[in-house]
Homo-oligomer: A and B are copies of this chain.
Amino acid sequence: MTGLTGSIIDDMAFRAEMSGLAEQVKACLADDLRQHGSVLPPHLRQVSESYLAHTGKCLRPALLLLSCGAAGGTLKGALPAAAAVEMFHNWTLLHDDVIDHDSFRRGRPTGHVLGASLGQQDLQLPAAAAAEYGQSLAILAGDLLQARAINLLLSVNGQKDKVVIGLARRMAAKLTSEVLAGEQLDVQLSQTPFEQVKEADVMEVMRLKTGALLSFCAETGVALAERRLPEDSSAAQGMAKFAELCGIAFQIQDDILGLSGDEETLGKPIGSDIREGKRTLLALRALKSCSERDRKTLLGILGNAQADAGDIEKAREILLRSHSLDGVREYSEDCVKQAMALLEKHLPENRWRNLLAAWAKSMTHRSV
């Protein structure tokens, strides 16, 4: 037994490693922007760069790089692929934010909101036309980053061409279909009355919308190290499952933080999930287990865009005191435990694997 608890790497050391990896990825993204940005009209350029300039913790590229390192590969060769998954993540966010009409992301205006303000300032558009203009810009910026993600992945050097082509096709065919299917199911669930939403549907959205990209990161890291395609590697497949389980834990923690986190750290208002009526595992379970009176109160507030601060507080209180909170926390910790077992099974012990264990643990222990 190697004692794979993640405690081998202490929290400070883990954070330092993560921020070191994030810096490398950001430098790679900045390089890409310099190369391609100059042909773009200024507004399209500004909106497409806005998410990348504040791209956060780079959890996904870190997963790819650590998986590559743990499987015996060099991180440098995997860097363009790591930048590619961050680019991919950002195009889905740009389009997601248009679809959900979200106004804030990482504490800053979302793409369509930024675009609208550019239309007002530079083109003197009235509010309604500016909103339209902003939405168009965000759609086009997302399209642009999608193409750039594939282009980055295709720029991976020092690999067999067959592997590069296979990975790019995997991103374009499998991954993109899954993520888009997840987004579409999510949109559809948001239009389905809470009482008709099944836990299995919510799990499927988590698997497709969050899990699929994380799986792609882990399997691609291993594939690059082994210089063969994920479908030919049992380690890559095991790590894909590892990442999917971590993705569920990540999403559950996201839902909990959306109720009890710190607004400034989160970069979005607490309660926005409640006003939006987000179909979370926690909400679904709370509705089943709480008193009839609480259930009625909750159903009246969830998804009510006009809910005031008092309503939000009431809904939060019901969700946070329900037994369901403990239940979903346990479930999420169980996912991480299963993931740890897969990690130990599929990759040899080394420093990168210890960092991967710390990465997995951070899914349930993060505050951002």
Residues of A whose CB lies within 8 Å of any CB of B are 36, 39-41, 43-44, 91, 95, 98-99, 119, 123, 125, 129, 133, 135-137, 139-140, 142-144, 146-148, 150-151, 154-155, 161-162, 164-165, 168-169, 171-173, 176-178, 180-181, 183-185, 187-188, 191-192
Contact = CB atoms under 8 A, between A and B. Distances in A.
B140 A183 contact: yes
A137 B184 CA distance: 7
Contact of A176 (B98, B143, B188): B143
A171 B155 CA distance: 13
A96 to B, nearest CB: 10
19 contacts: A40-B180, A41-B181, A41-B184, A41-B185, A41-B188, A43-B184, A44-B180, A44-B181, A99-B140, A119-B191, A139-B139, A143-B146, A143-B180, A144-B176, A146-B147, A148-B173, A150-B168, A154-B172, A155-B169
Contact of A129 (B144, B168, B191): B191
Contacts of A161: 161-162, 165
Contacts of A133: 187, 191
Contacts of A192: 123
Contacts of A188: 41, 43, 123
Nearest to A150: B172
A144 B151 CA distance: 16
Given A146-B143, A147-B176, A169-B155, A181 B123 contact: no
A178 B137 contact: no
Return the 3 tightest CB-CB contacts between A and B, nearest first.
A161-B161, A147-B176, A151-B172
A119 B190 CA distance: 12
A225 B129 CA distance: 47
A51 B144 CA distance: 21
Contacts of A187: 133, 136-137
A119 B187 CA distance: 11
A164 B162 CA distance: 10
Contacts of A176: 143-144, 147
Contacts of A123: 188, 191-192
Contact of A154 (B140, B147, B168): B168
Contacts of A183: 140
Contacts of A99: 135-136, 139-140
Contacts of A177: 36, 39-40, 144, 147
A95 B140 contact: yes
Given A43-B188, A183-B140, A147 B119 contact: no
